[in-house]
Structure 1
């Protein structure tokens, strides 16, 4: 096993085993699966920071995706395990925050995907943009150099 060379230090890392349903007609993980892993990795990280959906409901605040940018570098194959690393790369303390992602194959360390996602804060009860609560300002600290 070769450890990935992470793009930045101290990532939060989630692990996802490639499932049969993840494989497309080309014999590798379908591109849409990486979006799911990005989403699931972000949620795991948020939960580790104490910002699970229950906390979102309590604060009547959540973050929604505004934009995904994904660069596919290599394909995950059947039987592999993907490591999804994430970092908070920007938090304006108002309504926007961003994450960086790097997905690597656990066995070889090769980078499969790099991604950048921008989020906006909304009120859960209305779905409208809102100023982020203090818990988001403190709970989503920037871990990556400025975007």
Structure 2
């Protein structure tokens, strides 16, 4: 079941820069399945890649988070596919941190084809949401993210939703 959180692009313009990140990728031969479409697992890999880039941009990569005593692990991914991407397509992947409360955070993603002939804003290929649970990197037990993490990712209060 899809979480009832807006997709990344719905909130995009209202979120602080620290809560959003985007990258444009180009479909390569190794991304394709037997039908010559981007394989479904590639969409998820792209989402995770852009999420990691976002964390690294904020100085919150895995090593930094481990040193602070809490790392996020995926609890659930939900992907809705609308159209296939094919070899050579330019795909913009946007991620936005949409919720952070207690030991959970949610990232939303919007994946759009942005080829030169596409309409302004692109053509929606897929949406994804990932629910992350913060855990202690030593024990693996759920743990609230440290305040430094919360602040660095653009949240300022104890309970966050938007």
Same fold (TM over 0.5): yes
**Could you say which residue in structure 2 is the equivalent of 1:9?**
12
Q: Deviations over 1:15-36 (max 9, x none)?
A: 2221111100111100010010
For the pair 1:61 / 2:70, whether they are aligned, the reply is yes
TM-score calculated relative to the size of structure 2 = 0.79
Structure 1 portions without partners, runs of 5+: 1-5
- Aligned-partner SS, 2:66: helix
Tell me the matched-pair count: 139
TM-score calculated relative to the size of structure 1 = 0.87
**Could you say which residue in structure 2 is the equivalent of 1:100?**
108
**Could you say which residue in structure 1 is the equivalent of 2:89?**
80
Once residues 49 and 126 of structure 1 are traced to their aligned partners in structure 2, the CA distance between those partners, rounded to angstroms, is 25
Contact 1:13 1:41 in 2 (8 A): yes
**Could you say which residue in structure 2 is the equivalent of 1:3?**
none
Task: Say what the alpha-carbon RMSD is for the aligned residues.
Answer: 1.7
Q: Which has the higher helix share?
A: 2
Contact 2:72 2:132 in 1 (8 A): yes
Contact 1:88 1:100 in 2 (8 A): yes
**Could you say which residue in structure 2 is the equivalent of 1:22?**
31
Off by >3 Å, runs of 4+ in structure 1: none
Cα drift, residue 57 of structure 1: 2.2
Once residues 61 and 81 of structure 1 are traced to their aligned partners in structure 2, the CA distance between those partners, rounded to angstroms, is 35
Q: Deviations over 1:30-68 (max 9, x none)?
A: 001001001111111111222112211211211011111
